[in-house]
Each structure stands twice: as C-alpha cells, then as structure tokens.
Chain A
Amino acid sequence: MKIQRHSAVFGLVAAGALLLSACGSDQNSAQGGASAGATSSVDVTCGGKQNLNAEGSSAQKTAIDTFVQVYQQRCAGQNVAYNPSGSGSGVKNFTGGQVDFGGSDSPLSAEKGEVAAAAERCEGNPAWNLPLVFGPVAISYKLEGVTDLTLTGELAAKIFNGGVKKWNDEAVKAANPSASLPDKDITVVYRSDESGTTDNFQKYLTAASNGAWTQEAGKAFKGGVGEGKEKSAGVAQAVAGVDGAVTYVEWSFAQDNNLSVAKIDNGSGAVELTPETVGKAIDGAKIKGEGNDLVLDLDSIYGSTEAGVYPLVLATYEIVCSKGYDAETAQAVKAFLTVAATDGQAGLTDAGYAPLPKAFQEKLLTAVKAIA
C-alpha cells in the first residue's frame, strides 16, 4: 500500500518535470528592434559554437543586445550571452578562460599583467583590443525650466570638482546668456563603483579643461563632491529624481530616463550630442596599437577644437584572441563580430550609440578576418 503511494508522489514529480522540459521556446518575435538582413552587404559564415559566452563592460550592453538580435536574424539558432558585470570582471573572466570574448572600456593593461595573462589564455598568442562600440557620454542634468544648456570643458571640470556650486553662478551664466537659470544648488552625482566611464570622463576633463581639473583620471571619481550611485542605471535614476542634479552617463541611459543633455563648447561653438557630431569625433581618433590590435588614442579627440565635434566619447573594446580558439569558437566569434561591425551598426543610433565610420569599419573587418 505504502509503496504505491510513494510511487504516486514520485510519478507526479516526474510528470511535472517532463511537462516542463517539453514546452520551452527561444523564439521571440522582436518588435521595433533593429532591422537588417534585407540590405546586408557582407558575407557571414554562420555556424560554429552555438552558445557564445561573453562578459564585461556595462556601457556596451545595449549595443551588444542589438548586435545579438541582428546576429540571430543572420544566423538562426546561434546565441550569445553577454553579462554586463563590468570591465574589470570582463577582463578577468576572459584571461581566466571563462568567456569567449571580453568587453572592456579600457584596453588590456601591460602594467597590470593583463596582456601577459591574456596571451596565456590564448595559448601563447596575443589578444587584440577591437573598439567595436562607440558611446557618447552625456553630461546629463535635470533642472526645471532649463532644457538647453551649454558647458565648456573648463566649466564642466569646475562643476564636477566643486568650483561652481550654484546653477546661477556667473560662469554658467556666461556660457548660457539666454537661459533663465534658477538659484539652485548643483547636485553632482557620480559613479561609486569603478568604471571605465568615470575614467574616460576624467581623461576628457584633464585634456579639455585648461587646467581647471587638477585631479587626475582613473576608474574612481576624484572630484570630491556630490553623491555616489552604483552603475550607470543608478546614477541616471538618481538624477531623474532630483531637481538640480547633474551627472555623466552613457547616452542610452540618459535617453531611457528622459534626462536633458548638455551641449559641449570646445572653443568652436556649442555642439549638440547627435550621431553625426559623434561620428565626426570618431573619425579623428588615432590608433596607437600595432597591426590588428586597434587600441585608440582618445586624447586627440578630447582635446579637439574642431567645429562640430562632440568630444566626450567612450570607446569600448571587445577583447579577443588573435589565435588560440578552437575551430568552432573561432568561427562563431568571427561571425558575430562581422555581423556586429556591419549589419549590426544600423540599429545603434536608436540605442544611444554612434555607428562606426566607414574607414574604421574596414580596419575592424580586416582584424576580425585575421582571427584564427
């Protein structure tokens, strides 16, 4: 008797498990997403490892999502998991062999031993830094009655290190003669976690502030004012909730939270943040890496005084092995990166990034083809 009752219970559990494993589906009809496929110009050899695994910078998460969507349209049945756990852990998990490629806001650092560790992971071959995603960083603010604000590099530096404390300060008025600025305190919000965005923003301030930014660059915020919040989503939400708050955050997060974005005046007039002005900035980027290792020198952009250039941009790299993948993985990585660098670029503007300029795209494709 008892035995029968036991088997009834276990039968129930087994039936439940069977039912569960029978009816899952990965098919989602993406609506309003990136559209590609029809006008694709590039040959992609699909196949290889079915589930690619990547991890790293949260700044490029939305861009990677867009690429994955297009990649799945081109190569049905292929998947990519991208975990936005931060540049640091992306590099660590890449060198540890846990992921197929890493995402990072800064290139591998030789001083920290990352270059050597990556070479070991790639079985003695160098790892390449491929700048696949360019994201403008928006100086985003929330100020009632003001949606048009212009900042110079010097003024931005003073706001973020406490030199300017009120929105109606003379320095802000001088840059915005036509705006009616309220008598409110400026609440600076910064990233409390270590972040490539903070690093790039502080590099920009160092290069463009005429010496007003005496703190150096680095992944931690050194301005010494304001309140810290976790991750891009955290700072953007914090600014959305406080009248008079200002922060630096990737453009997509500013868009998602309906924040106003300041124009930047680099000496040749106020420049609005648009895909065109960012594209113009990327055109001016110099490559300081060798061969297919496309490490960028962004200081030339940050210090640019050319008209119509939005100088505050962030390059995020995909870190890949030049050689040393097994054949399956190499094929899938190449297919994904090829789609990302070509068809995937179409949807980037909607997602708050800037598409790659033509010349740059060719260099990237050469590098991707060379992966073995």
Chain B
Amino acid sequence: MTTDTADLTRLATPPTFQSVSGARKFKNGLATAAVWGAFLVAIVPLVWVLFIVVQRGLPIVVNADWWQKSLNGLLSRQQGGGVYHAIYGTLVQGLVCAVISVPIGLMVGVYLVEYGGRSRLAKATTFMVDILTGVPSIVAALFVYSLWITTFGFGRSGFAVALALVLLMVPVIVRTTEEMLKIVPDELREASYALGIPKWKTIVKIVIPTALSGILTGIMLALARVMGETAPVLVLAAYAPYINYNLFDGPMASLPLLMTTERSNSTAAGFDRIWGAAITLVIIITLFNLLATVVSRVLAPKTK
C-alpha cells in the first residue's frame, strides 16, 4: 500500500502574487526615482557650498600667519595678516557662554525629569523653554542690548555677546538633558534607592553619569551652533582688527563679524579674508562636532 506522502516543497495553494504587475513595477520605479531625486537635491547644495568654500578658502588658510596674526595695521587692500583675533573672540565668547549656560541648562533638565514631575512649575518651565527655543537670535541680541547696554549702561563687549548666546544655548541644553535623562531606565534609580542611597546622590552618581555621553554631545552641538551666530555679534560687539583679550571692554572681533565687516571691502584682499574666515569657521565647528563624537564614545556607559 502506498501512502501519499505530501510534497513538502510544494505549497498547498499557489502563491497569490505570481508575478509583479506592471503598475506595481512602475510605482516602485517612480518611488525609487523620487527618493534618489530628493537625495540629490539635498546633497547638491551641500557639496557645492563645501566645494566653493574649500576651493576659495583653502589656499588662504594654509599659512601659519593666518592662524597666528591679526589684521592690525593693514589697509583693506593689503594682503597678509591673519584672523587670530577673530578665532580668539569666537572661541572665548562661545566658551564663556557655555560656562554660564551649561550649569543652568543641566540643572533645569534635572529638575524637570527628576523632581518636577507633573507639577505646575514644571509645566510652566517647559512652556518657557519651548518659547525660548523659538526666539530668533536677533531678538535675543536686541533684548540683551536693551537690558545690558541701554538699561544698565555697560558698553558693547564680547561679554554682552556671550550673554545673548546664553539665551540661545540654554533651551537647547535643557532639551537634550531632558531627553537623555528620560531614557535612563527607572530600574537603575530603584536599585540605588533600594540600597538606601539618597535621591541627590542617586542623580549625581547614577543618573547623570549614565546619560553623560548624550548630554555632552548635546552641549558640543549647541556650542557649535552658537559660535556661528551672526546677529548677536553684529548688534553687541564692534569689530576690532587687533587682538582684544579683554572680554568685558572694547570691541572684539569674531569670525562671523569679520566676514560681515569685510563684505564692505571690495578688494581682492577683502574677498580672500571672507572666504578664509568662512573655511576657518567651518573647520572649527567641524572640530567641535568631532570632539563631541569622540567624547560621547569615550564616556558611553559600558554595556559589559
């Protein structure tokens, strides 16, 4: 007696879709083309901008003087000199801004996630941070101008710029800190409480170190962003062609300010300075982004 053994490889019923219809192929092709098209549209301006900045700026910045000297005592049509004064201004304004805004932003973030909960104060704070995120940089600059310079009577200075940048940087840091603290698993906190450790110590020793790499990345990116801001430096600091180490008094150059100032210089030297400063700014911000990546790698919590 022979038994019918089922052919295991054959399907009981034939597959519903035996061949892909022409309409589907067409739609697939159309979608692929659209996605690639969108990709190209996005990438073309990026590559173009980078190419032009590198092509026009690179020959100017491969020169030791460019990184070590200021433009002091040079006529607008004279080649030479460097942008040390502007690099110094950009970095110092950015760092002072970070020194002020990082503790504020970090502590607000910790409050919102760990203590605030659903309280009215926490809701109000979140709302304010949302509004602050949407404030254009020129408004922040004018606010600081009217408060610091008109009302308090201080002069224009690099520090006033740093204050305006704080307004732009704090909401970004609060947001990143909040997001990073939220993804720290509650089990870690509970395990810590179970060992009898107070809440503040849990936050300082367990929660923040776990989220640290993400928070630091956020801070670096925020810093890179504010260093390229033009509106605050235009309103709050006068340009100086010499090196001014004093953040609190006198005009101070920065890279975006140097570029806007040199725009009124129609000579070849002015053209070179603008493109040189542009690529310098791109290089500095790229370095900060790279640093952010490295820092977050080094500080990432060990999974083993």
Q: Which positions in A face B, CB cutoff 8 Å? A: 2, 5-6, 9, 17, 20-21, 23-34, 51, 53, 55, 58, 61-62, 65-66, 68-69, 72, 79, 81, 83-84, 93, 97-99, 231-233, 236-237, 253, 256-257, 351
A336 CB to nearest chain B CB (Å): 13
Hey, which chain A residues are within 8 Å of B77, CB to CB? Answer: 62, 256
Is B263 touching A31 in the complex (CB atoms < 8 A)? no
Bound-complex Cα distance A97 to B156 (A): 10
Interface string of B283-304 (1 = CB under 8 A from A): 0000000000001001100000
B154 CB to nearest chain A CB (Å): 10
Closest to B237 in A: A83
Which residues of B (144-181) have their CB < 8 Å from a CB of A? 149, 155-156
Is B72 touching A79 in the complex (CB atoms < 8 A)? yes
Hey, which chain B residues are within 8 Å of A2, CB to CB? Answer: 209, 299
Is A21 touching B245 in the complex (CB atoms < 8 A)? yes
Provided the pairs A53-B250, A72-B72 are in contact, do residues A256 and B80 lie with their beta carbons within 8 angstroms?
no
Is B250 touching A25 in the complex (CB atoms < 8 A)? no
Hey, which chain B residues are within 8 Å of A29, CB to CB? Answer: 80
Is B68 touching A24 in the complex (CB atoms < 8 A)? yes
* Residue in A9, A65, A68, A81 with the greatest tally of chain B CB atoms within 10 Å: A81
Is B73 touching A28 in the complex (CB atoms < 8 A)? yes
Is A98 touching B155 in the complex (CB atoms < 8 A)? yes
A59 CB to nearest chain B CB (Å): 11
Hey, which chain A residues are within 8 Å of B242, CB to CB? Answer: 26, 51, 79, 81
B-side interface residues, number (CB < 8 Å): 42
Stretch at the interface among B5-13, B37-45, B192-200, B264-272: B264-272
Q: Does B132 contact A (CB under 8 A)?
A: no
Is B73 touching A53 in the complex (CB atoms < 8 A)? no
Is B250 touching A51 in the complex (CB atoms < 8 A)? yes
Stretch at the interface among B52-60, B81-89, B114-122, B134-142: B81-89
Is B73 touching A69 in the complex (CB atoms < 8 A)? yes
Which among B74, B84, B298 is the interface contact of A9 at CB below 8 angstroms?
B298
Provided the pairs A20-B88, A81-B251 are in contact, do residues A30 and B73 lie with their beta carbons within 8 angstroms?
yes
7 closest Cβ contacts across the A-B interface?
A: A81-B240, A233-B266, A24-B84, A79-B242, A26-B72, A81-B251, A65-B75
Hey, which chain A residues are within 8 Å of B299, CB to CB? Answer: 2, 5-6, 9
Which among B78, B243, B263 is the interface contact of A26 at CB below 8 angstroms?
B243
Interface string of B225-263 (1 = CB under 8 A from A): 000000000000011111111000011000000000101
Is B70 touching A84 in the complex (CB atoms < 8 A)? no
Which among A25, A27, A62, A237 is the interface contact of B75 at CB below 8 angstroms?
A62
Bound-complex Cα distance A28 to B83 (A): 12
Hey, which chain A residues are within 8 Å of B100, CB to CB? Answer: none
Hey, which chain B residues are within 8 Å of A68, CB to CB? Answer: 73
Provided the pairs A61-B76, A231-B264 are in contact, do residues A25 and B70 lie with their beta carbons within 8 angstroms?
yes
A328 CB to nearest chain B CB (Å): 13
Q: Does B222 contact A (CB under 8 A)?
A: no
Hey, which chain A residues are within 8 Å of B85, CB to CB? Answer: 24, 26
**16 A–B contacts from the bound complex (CB under 8 Å):** A20-B87, A24-B84, A25-B84, A25-B243, A26-B85, A28-B71, A30-B74, A34-B75, A51-B251, A58-B264, A72-B72, A79-B240, A81-B241, A236-B266, A237-B266, A253-B266
Provided the pairs A81-B251, A237-B266 are in contact, do residues A98 and B238 lie with their beta carbons within 8 angstroms?
yes
Is B73 touching A72 in the complex (CB atoms < 8 A)? yes
